[in-house]
Amino acid sequence: MLTTGHGDDAATVTPERAVTLTCAPTASGSHPAAARACAELRGADGDFDALTTRDDVRCTKEYNPVLVTVQGVWQGQRVSYERTFGNECVKNSFGAGVFTF
């Protein structure tokens, strides 16, 4: 389960959008680019911090924080991830599509 919402504290941010993502045995779920997201996660060995920022995206420095949370299982291991991005553009530039929903 991946969620996103505006703010910088998971305790106070109300999720505005939530999607599901399943990568095994095949890519599925409500994520709009499930196959692409799963391929990206496989390339990072399931490490969300290892996802890279795209070089072809330019974002403003506007601070409108967006919080992303992930709860689930990757290859039998529990995953709990949380990251705050400066704005929506920065969030969408992180990786090729895991957080673009």
Name the residue ranges covered by the structural domains of the chain.
Answer: 2-93
Q: Which residues contact 95 (CB under 8 A, 6 or more apart)?
A: 40, 44, 51, 52, 53, 54
3-class SS of residue 4:
strand
Superfamily of domain 2-93: Subtilisin inhibitor-like (3.30.350.10)
Answer whether residue 83 shows pLDDT above 80. Answer: yes
Total Cβ atoms within 10 A of residue 84 = 15
pLDDT tens readout for residues 6-50: 998 888 899 999 999 999 999 999 999 999 999 999 999 999 999
Confidence grade of residue 55 (pLDDT, cut at 50, 70, 90): confident
Is 72:79 a contact under the CB 8 Å cutoff? yes
